[in-house]
């Protein structure tokens, strides 16, 4: 039987009269890469803001590793790492200082912090940039540091909100390779939102969110096969047209 790391049930959210999420339900398994695909305005950022407790949903239930987020919010936050759409590193601090600050917010002791920083920077091939100011890094390397930072407290789930926006194609490809490897090697679950169809790979688990509603949760290749569609683009078009109706 599957034992989901994250369960979302019947989530709803409104901005005034505008309903941004409607009856959103899904479950994520450990060690999988999930692509959350949806056009601008679909509700991806709203969903992420609720998952990391920046917004409170008036409807629905979120459970992480069996812990109810409404009842034990801090316990759940410890299980979640997030990289926001907008960069949030301090450009005038070094890579290490940025990471150490995050570790202190999570209450990690000094020795553990040093070791985790070494491990995460090594994972992203960034060890030699540890003492450099973030300002001196290119966009792709800054993103790597943000992802390393989000992993320092060893969350079960990593949320990436359009994390590859603004990066060139080859940097995006490298980043996407890194992220899939992270899931298979470390057992972490990644939920990565994007409106870029070419970021989704046939082996990914796919969640399609349109107009605040989940239209599909299935392995991308399986969904293509069952609908007899020959590309991720065609699959997305299919659900986009359905969502517009
Ligand atoms: N603060 C807000 N006040 C009013 N409406 C909002 C607010 N934030 C988002 N919305 C609306 O809620 C809906 C969902 O927005 P959201 O930003 O979650 O979508 P998204 O899929 O993340 O889009 P994008 O890819 O453009 O970031 C949209 O219709 C948006 O206009």
List b or e across 94-114, with b for residues whose CB sees 16 or more CB atoms inside 10 angstroms: bbbbbbbebbeebebeeeebe
Residue nearest to atom 1 of ligand 1 (CA): 15
Residue 48 CA to ligand 1 center (angstroms) comes to 11
The answer, yes or no, to whether ipTM is higher than 0.90 is: yes
What pLDDT shows up at residue 244? 64
Crossing angle for the helix pair 139-151 and 110-123, nearest 10 degrees? 140
Q: What is the pLDDT, as a whole number, of residue 245?
A: 61
Q: Which two tokens stand for residue 5?
A: 């790391």
Compute the distance between CA of residue 112 and CA of residue 152 in angstroms, rounded to an integer: 10
Compute the distance between CA of residue 41 and CA of residue 211 in angstroms, rounded to an integer: 7
Q: Is 226 in the pocket of ligand 1 (CB under 6 A)?
A: no
pLDDT value of residue 195: 82
Domain locations in the chain as residue ranges: 87-154
Q: Whose CA is nearest to atom 30 of ligand 1?
A: 41
In tens digits, the chain (245 residues) has pLDDT values of 468 999 999 999 999 999 999 999 999 999 999 999 988 899 999 999 999 999 999 999 999 999 999 999 999 999 999 999 888 999 999 999 999 999 999 999 999 999 999 999 998 889 999 999 999 999 989 999 999 999 999 999 999 998 888 788 888 888 888 899 989 888 999 999 988 888 888 889 999 999 999 998 999 999 989 989 888 888 888 877 766 66
Q: What is the pLDDT of residue 178?
A: 86
């Amino acid at each position: 039987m599957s034992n989901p790391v994250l369960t979302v049930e019947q989530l709803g959210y409104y901005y005034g009269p505008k309903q941004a999420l409607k009856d959103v339900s899904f479950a994520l398994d450990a060690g999988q890469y999930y692509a959350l695909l949806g056009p601008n305005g679909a509700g991806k950022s709203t969903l992420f803001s609720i998952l990391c407790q920046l917004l409170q949903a008036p409807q629905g239930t979120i459970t992480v590793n069996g812990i109810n987020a409404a009842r034990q919010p801090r316990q759940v936050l410890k299980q979640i790492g997030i990289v926001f759409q907008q960069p949030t590193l301090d450009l005038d601090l070094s890579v290490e200082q940025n990471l150490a600050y995050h570790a202190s917010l999570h209450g990690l002791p000094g020795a553990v912090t040093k070791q985790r920083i070494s491990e995460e920077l090594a994972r992203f091939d960034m060890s030699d940039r540890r003492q450099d100011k973030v300002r001196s890094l290119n966009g792709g390397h800054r993103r790597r540091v943000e992802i390393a930072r989000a992993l320092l407290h060893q969350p079960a789930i990593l949320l990436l909100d359009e994390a590859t926006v603004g990066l060139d194609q080859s940097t995006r490809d490298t980043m996407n390779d890194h992220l899939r490897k992270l899931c298979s090697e470390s057992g972490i679950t990644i939920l990565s939102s994007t409106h870029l169809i070419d970021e989704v790979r046939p082996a990914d688990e796919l969640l399609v969110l349109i107009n605040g509603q989940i239209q599909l949760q299935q392995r991308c290749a399986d969904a293509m096969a069952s609908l007899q569609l020959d590309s991720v683009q065609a699959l997305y078009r299919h659900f986009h047209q359905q969502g517009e109706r």
